[in-house]
Amino acid sequence: MGIQITPSILTADFADLGAELARIPSSDWIHVDVMDNHFVPNLTFGPRTIEALSNATSRPIDAHLMITDADRNAAAYVEAGAASVTFHVEAATAPVRLAREIRSAGARASMALRPATPVDPYEDLLPELDMVLIMTVEPGFGGQKFLDLCLPKIRRARELMDKHGVETWLQVDGGVSLETIERCAEAGADVFVAGSAVFDAEDPDAMIAALREKATGAADRA
């Protein structure tokens, strides 16, 4: 599968998202942070934004649901065109059922964990998931500083995936930059969400290439 770079539009220009997507043609996915002002203290996008973006680009949409009622609402994001839907395990009543529903609807199912949520209690869920997202900042706002304390959890998640022989992707989100991506890749992550690092760059697509090069080199050394 290799290294994948997934820019988050949370720090893009909301007034012209079509033009912003045109600035990142080499991105593997488009990451959309869905916030409900309940699970996190911010309010952003809904299914209509997912639908508009999926119609505006051929790249797959990665919908990260930071919402309280993921069990009831996740299906709407698949219907809107998301190719991958991530729910927070802290907000899911029945995570196995939810993952299966997302998969049966035709999307990849991903489970996210906040920085303080350990991964070991969810080891048995790994075969039900296409991706695990380790948050490396507290979810809710872009531009936060990377939390190094999450690196052992990234390593542990990779150990558990290797133990079970699953092909689950390991994504990190929060403070990913040229200064931090190598540490994440060395710890075992292979999918990287980057917001400010990409959209604040003079050349966002060149930044994607630089991030990919750094992560690939670190993964090869590991």
CATH code reported for the domain at 4-221: 3.20.20.70
- Contact of 195 with 6, CB cutoff 8 Å: no
CA 55 to CA 81: how far, in whole Å? 8
Cβ distance 57 to 34 under 8 Å?
no
Q: Quick one: CA dihedral 143, 147, 150, 155, positive or negative? A: positive
Tell me if 31 sits within 8 A of 42, measured CB to CB. no
Return the domain boundaries, the chain. Answer: 4-221
How many helices and strands in the chain, by DSSP H and E? 8, 8
Q: Using one digit for the tens of pLDDT, what is the confidence trace for 96-135?
A: 999 999 999 999 999 999 999 999 999 999 999 999 999 9
Please give the positions annotated as active site: 33, 173
Mean pLDDT, range 162-188, rounded to an integer: 97
DSSP single-letter state for residue 128: G
Q: Which two tokens stand for residue 140?
A: 């809710």
Which residues, listed in sequence order, are joined to residue 66 by a DSSP beta bridge? Answer: 35
Helices (H), the chain: 17-22, 47-56, 70-79, 95-104, 151-164, 181-187, 196-199, 204-221
- pLDDT digit string, tens, across residues 52-107: 999 999 999 999 999 988 999 999 999 999 999 999 999 999 999 999 999 999 99
- 1: pLDDT strictly greater than 80: no
Pairing of strands 108-113, 4-7: unpaired
pLDDT at res. 141 = 66
- With 70 as the cut, is the pLDDT of residue 142 above it? no
The average confidence (pLDDT) of the chain is 94
